[in-house]
């Protein structure tokens, strides 16, 4: 925030043009050699303009101007020996545009007088003041004498001095005071360079007898010298990601830091070091760039690495201030693990003429990140499926291979199929020399049994093929053979089937015998009833004879 050096002509012009919107033609501001972002370099004040309607714009993209006229640096700006110039324009409702040139310099514009450090006397010649320096956070006694402004005046007892400006009657107030008769400038309290790097003060000289101002307002700049009172601070998140098994020297990320002390000094020269994690990573001491030192970082062993970073100003000197923090380095997954089978081979049985049936589940293991293309399996039948009798898909939930019979097999054509199944990933392998794994699957085809003796029972293939005498017994018309004899000739499975048939006949007999007995009992009952009736009818052959001696009522009853 520099002080505007306005000539007497401009002041008279302001006073004469109060009724119209006025903007000075030029503005000179003393600034540091390097202006940091956010630094307010000046404040533009308009006269006679409507504060609500006036529009202020700055033509230099490195600066911006606020609605209150404050010009603030957006980026770091370097001010050379010749200074820096940019323009500010003001436009109100009248539509007229007025421009002002802002001159930035990093040393006092007014040159020192040839007679030493400056002269404050009663003459009307133009006088000048040098800039003075104070050290921030001064821990001595206050008030502290900074300079005696009237030390070069031969008749200083005939004048007195007044001061105004920053640190005196404007914010921050109460920093400086001046002995009006001796010209001694005092510092009243400690100052902070990071809060206020310099103070612009105006000195006025008056004749003691007439109280007439002898000179123009004299600018005085008090510059605050920096001490290393701010430790460096980390800027931004300390979270980085790098692929696993990347080559040594791969950039992981950049640690950013800042220091509020004076730029271009050792107070802000930061050295970066790794307190922990140096076995796999390193950091550049000046740039803060973290890189890998090995290609053995493996996500499957450890997916996150935490390293401790130290930043220290004074270029890492023992008296430098420092700060530490932890940075997290996450390892992103690459497909460096092919799926592996749980068994070396499989055997499965299928009956001929079966189709669309799940035959086998084939589990696999994969160490890569779950539910990613590096983990998801893709199974392929690489051998034995030339006729398309089988298909295999992946279970999305378990990542298993599901082997199906899609077309029926014929036992007479083939009773044994040798398949080879390969497990892959959706993503290609990366960073390793390993290849996809395969396993054999032996599919045994079973023949469907024939129907035995019309009872819906299936006869084992061994009866028809492995035992010719039994087969002849079934087909020969001259050799009567009972079921028990037939199946007693066949060992093993045939005997079991014969016993099941015998048990079936026994069940039928168990049901039929009670029915036959009931029928016989019924016939006997009917027979006895008829026999009894025949006995009661006598020899008449069952014809009743009438009696002459029967009573009339009896006769009527018979009638």
Report the length, in residues, of the chain: 559
Report d(CA 31, CA 8) in Å as an integer.
23
Q: pLDDT band at residue 305, thresholds of 50, 70 and 90?
A: very high
The percentage of the chain sitting over the pLDDT mark of 90, rounded to a whole number, equals: 44
Residue 334, pLDDT above cutoff 70? yes
Q: CA-to-CA distance for 496 and 452, rounded, in angstroms? A: 13
Q: How far apart are CA 340 and CA 31, in angstroms?
A: 70
What integer pLDDT is reported at residue 507 of this predicted model? 66
Radius of gyration of the chain (CA): 57
Smallest CA-to-CA distance from 104 within 187, 14, 39, 192 is with 39
Q: pLDDT class for 548, splitting at 50, 70, 90?
A: very low
d(CA 2, CA 83): 14
Whether 322 and 313 have beta carbons less than 8 Å apart is answered as yes
Determine the pLDDT at residue 218. 86
Report the C-alpha gap between 168 and 170 in whole angstroms: 6
Residue 43 has what pLDDT?
79
pLDDT beyond 70 at 184: yes
Percent of the chain whose predicted confidence (pLDDT) is above 70: 74
Q: Which range among 70-84, 332-346, 382-396 shows the weakest confidence by mean pLDDT?
A: 70-84
Residue 442 binned pLDDT confidence (cut-offs 50, 70, 90): very high
Task: Give the integer Cα–Cα distance in Å for 254 and 239.
Answer: 10
Tell me if 487 sits within 8 A of 457, measured CB to CB: no
* Residue 465 scores a pLDDT above 70: no
Give rounded-to-5 percent helix, strand, coil for the chain: 15, 35, 50
Model confidence at 489: pLDDT above 50: no
In the predicted structure, residue 421 carries a pLDDT above the cut 90: yes
Give 402's pLDDT tier (boundaries 50, 70, 90).
very high
| Cα 461 to Cα 71: distance, rounded to the nearest angstrom | 103
Residue 531 confidence (pLDDT): 80
**How far, in Å, are 213, 230, 306, 422 from residue 303 at the CA level?**
77, 36, 10, 29
DSSP state, residue 213: B
Planar angle of CA 215, 218, 220, nearest 5 degrees: 160
- pLDDT band of residue 110 (cuts 50, 70, 90) is very low
Report pLDDT for 27.
76
321 pLDDT more than 70: yes
Diameter of the chain by CA atoms?
200
pLDDT confidence bin for 128, thresholds 50/70/90: low
Q: What is the band of 22 on the pLDDT scale with cuts at 50, 70, 90?
A: low
pLDDT (0 to 100) of residue 364: 95
Q: Which of the residue ranges 10-24, 105-119, 204-218, 500-514 has the most confident prediction, judged by mean pLDDT?
A: 204-218
Name the one residue in this structure whose structure tokens are 């000739």.
Answer: 489
- Give the model confidence (pLDDT) of 242-298 as tens digits: 999 999 999 999 999 999 999 989 999 999 999 999 999 999 999 999 999 999 999
36-50, 206-220, 237-251: the lowest-pLDDT one: 36-50
Say yes or no to pLDDT of 490 above 80: no
Distance CA 205, CA 211 (A): 9
Q: Do residues 73 and 104 make contact, with C-beta atoms less than 8 angstroms apart?
A: no
Give me 489's structure tokens: 């000739």
Mean pLDDT of 130-153: 80
Residues 6+ apart with CB under 8 A from 73: 35, 36, 37, 38, 39, 40, 41, 62, 63
Which region among 222-226, 260-264, 360-364, 542-546 has the lowest average model confidence (pLDDT)?
542-546
Q: Is the pLDDT of residue 50 over 80?
A: no
* Cα–Cα distance for residue pair 348/242, rounded to 1 Å: 45
Of the candidates 368, 390, 373, 372, which has an alpha carbon nearest to the alpha carbon of residue 381? 390
Q: Is the pLDDT of residue 18 over 50?
A: no
């Amino acid at each position: 925030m520099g002080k505007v050096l306005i000539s007497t002509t401009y002041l008279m012009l302001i006073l004469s043009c109060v009724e119209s919107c006025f903007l000075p033609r030029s503005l000179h501001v003393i600034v540091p050699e390097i202006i940091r972002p956010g630094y307010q370099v000046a404040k533009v004040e308009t006269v006679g303009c409507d504060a609500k309607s006036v529009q202020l714009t700055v033509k230099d993209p490195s600066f911006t101007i606020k609605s209150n006229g404050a010009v603030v640096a957006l980026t770091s700006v370097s001010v050379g020996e010749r200074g820096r110039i940019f323009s500010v324009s003001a436009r109100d409702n009248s539509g007229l545009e007025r421009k002002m040139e802002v001159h930035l310099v990093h040393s006092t514009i007014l040159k020192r007088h040839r007679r030493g450090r400056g002269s404050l006397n009663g003459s009307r010649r133009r006088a000048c003041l040098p800039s003075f320096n104070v050290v921030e956070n001064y821990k001595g006694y206050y008030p502290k004498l900074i300079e005696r402004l009237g030390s070069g005046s031969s008749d200083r007892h005939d004048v007195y001095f007044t001061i105004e400006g920053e640190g005196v009657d404007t914010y921050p107030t109460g920093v400086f005071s001046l002995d009006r008769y001796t010209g001694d400038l005092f510092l009243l309290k400690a100052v902070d360079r990071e809060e206020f790097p310099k103070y612009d003060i105006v000195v006025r000289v008056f004749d003691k007898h007439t109280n007439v101002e002898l000179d123009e307002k004299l600018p005085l700049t008090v510059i605050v010298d920096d001490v290393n009172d701010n430790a460096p601070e980390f800027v931004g998140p300390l979270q980085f990601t790098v692929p696993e098994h990347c080559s040594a020297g791969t950039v992981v990320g950049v640690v950013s830091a800042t220091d509020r002390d004076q730029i271009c000094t050792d107070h802000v020269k930061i050295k970066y070091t790794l307190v922990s994690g140096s076995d796999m990573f390193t950091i550049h001491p000046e740039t803060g760039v973290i890189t890998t030192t090995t290609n053995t970082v493996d996500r499957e062993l450890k997916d996150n690495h935490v390293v401790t970073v130290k930043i220290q100003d004074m270029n890492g000197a023992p008296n430098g201030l420092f700060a530490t923090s932890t940075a997290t380095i996450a390892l992103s997954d690459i497909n460096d693990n092919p799926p592996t089978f749980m068994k070396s081979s499989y055997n499965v049985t299928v009956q001929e003429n079966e189709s669309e049936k799940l035959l086998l589940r084939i589990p696999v293991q994969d160490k890569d990140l779950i539910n990613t293309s590096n983990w998801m399996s893709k199974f392929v039948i690489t051998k034995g499926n030339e006729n398309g009798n089988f298909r295999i898909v992946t279970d999305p939930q378990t990542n298993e291979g599901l082997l199906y019979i899609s077309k029926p097999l014929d036992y007479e054509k083939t009773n044994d199929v040798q398949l080879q199944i390969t497990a892959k990933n959706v993503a290609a392998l990366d960073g390793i020399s390993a290849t996809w794994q395969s396993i054999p699957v032996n599919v045994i085809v079973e023949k469907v049994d024939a129907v035995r003796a019309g009872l819906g029972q299936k006869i084992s293939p061994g009866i028809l093929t492995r035992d010719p005498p039994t087969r002849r017994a079934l087909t020969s018309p001259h050799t009567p053979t009972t079921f028990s004899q037939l199946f007693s000739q066949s060992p093993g499975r045939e005997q079991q089937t014969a016993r099941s048939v015998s048990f079936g006949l026994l069940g039928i007999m168990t049901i039929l015998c009670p029915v036959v007995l009931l029928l016989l009992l019924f016939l006997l009952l009917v027979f006895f009833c008829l026999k009894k009736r025949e006995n009661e009818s006598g020899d008449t052959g069952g014809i009743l004879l009438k009696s002459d001696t029967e009573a009339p009522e009896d006769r009527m009853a018979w009638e």
